[in-house]
Structure 1
Amino acid sequence: MAEQISDNIFQTPVAAEAETRDLGFGSVVAGQSRERLLNQDGSFNVRRTGLNFLTSLNLYHTLLSMSWKVFLSILLLLYFLSNVVFGLLYALLGAESLVDTSSTPTSSLILRGFFFSVQTFATIGYGTIHPVGIITNLLVTIESYYSMVVTALITGIIFARFARPIARIHFSRVAVIAPYRDINGFMFRLVNGRSNQLIEVGAKVMFTRFVEENGSIIRRFDLLELERKNIAFFPLAWTIVHPINEKSPLYDLTPEDLKKSDAEFLILLTATDETFAQVVHTRSSYKPEEIRFGNKFVSIYNPAEEGETISINIKKLSAIEKT
């Protein structure tokens, strides 16, 4: 075997070499980290400390990248708290500052101020509750300006969230080492999780592991040769294959070899979103425990009669069977 995998790999000091391709993780992470470099959801398994909170805070990016559920919950909380604060301020000014001319006036001054704030914030203006006095009207002016700015900002962020293309690619939960053209191949499948069309899709697969070279333990990165690096259209599913021939760094490796060397397969996918005409990216990875030797993927295609449209069953994306 071209590479000698040591049983005491995690106890031996790691020597960082200049020629090691670390993909930007840095020699310390590439040479010493025993954690997964890239999580399956595409997030990096590293963190930065020492930055001032305000320096590192990027509210706009946070609001864009959070889930819709969290985003809408924050908006609802902001709307409620804003009206509570202004409602309390109106209540502090006294009952004579807010006159309720309805047939059944609100007895609670706090509730009266809250509902008046809601009407002012949303520019409803029923007219049954109206401000009296200079100070109260100044507070109404401040809330009107505040609501105008907040509404404009929220509208812009919502538009940006809708206008920002995000790839939702579903990767198979496992990868397989299966027969491929009289040899074996490392394979995994993926499918577009949205109804939009992706074109000019490209894939890169990097194989990283610890190896012993010249008496030192280093992490090596190898870009794997793929059967097909790019596809023009991505209407159904794509099985990405790395042929394991004599030139492959996976040649003659066993499941035990992958575990001992702390191997990881890093995947980077790029594509053009046809709707937005913008490039989107997604990432994932596989560890040895997520790789199945002696298995192959089951057919993802649904049976079709002559003249029927070809379709796939995404529920079978990760389904495997013995070879």
Structure 2
Amino acid sequence: MISLKVGLLGGGSWGTTVASLVARNAPITLWARNPDTVTDINSHHRNRKYLGSAPLPERLRASADIEETVADADVVVMAIPSQNFRPVLEEVKQHIRPWVPVISLTKGLELDTRMRMTQIINDVLPGHPVGVLTGPNLAREIMAGQAAASVVAMTDKVILCELQKLFKSGLFRVYTNDDVIGCELGGVLKNIIAIAVGMGDGQGAGDNTRAALITRGLAEVTRLGVAMGGRPETFAGLAGMGDMIATCTSPQSRNRHVGIELAKGRSMEAIAAEMFMVAEGAKSAPAVMALAQEYGVEMPIAQDVYRVVSGDSTALRAYRGLLRVDPGAEHEPG
């Protein structure tokens, strides 16, 4: 066991999964807003709302008290949806000790500011080392013991090596990267492409179409990510291509599910009302398009998704539009 104490904020599927992985390596307390989730984890070693009957380690402890979760923590992990990330972090600020590393698991952007989660951490908690854990990680598969790989990114290489030891567990392999911007943006931007793939799948598109959308979508994501300071090779790795393949093809993907439902002609509001887990792609789409405009990057697939989720177009119209686009050279925008 590692002597570091960990506090994790967020009782959803991915937060609980990461907490269960870390629990094999170090003492950890998970904060959940819902008292029923806290009781379920502590009394039954389950999080049935998000992970069904999957067993959790008995040493994983849950709390409904943020102070109790972070006051003694040597590492704080944030698994909070993007639009609630800042308010929860403001509460964490009141109790966290100085210089404690803060790691984000959240793949979204703050809508009003267009900020990445690590930027919000720097804003609210200046001086704290910040990082991100990301990759092609479907929670239920990992809880079932299936092999998976992830990447933890931070600029401080000494802390990074300790975090790698903290998060890796059994068949869950963790690689390191110092490109925080690229790793974080890969996780954010692929969600929008997954909605596009879902819209195609929902209209009966074949494997060829899906492959084309993923490939051209990755090109869009890479263009914006590099313009914002990420490295091109990051988007060819686990945080980019790997995460995009998993999110665009898995029946477990929430963003792909949103696209499939949009293809049925349903509104974004109706789809969101039925989901108790957040599809970050729909939430982040306006911020992503604003960033694309700010950095002068063409993102035709993402633009079509944005128009559909905002109600200005339909999945059918977007799909037909993509088919009509005149292609240029492969490695040029468009």
- Larger % of strand: which? 1
Q: What is the TM-score of this pair, normalised by structure 1? A: 0.28
Larger relative contact order (Cα-Cα within 8 Å, sequence gap ≥ 6): 1
Q: What is the TM-score of this pair, normalised by structure 2? A: 0.27
- Larger % of helix: which? 2
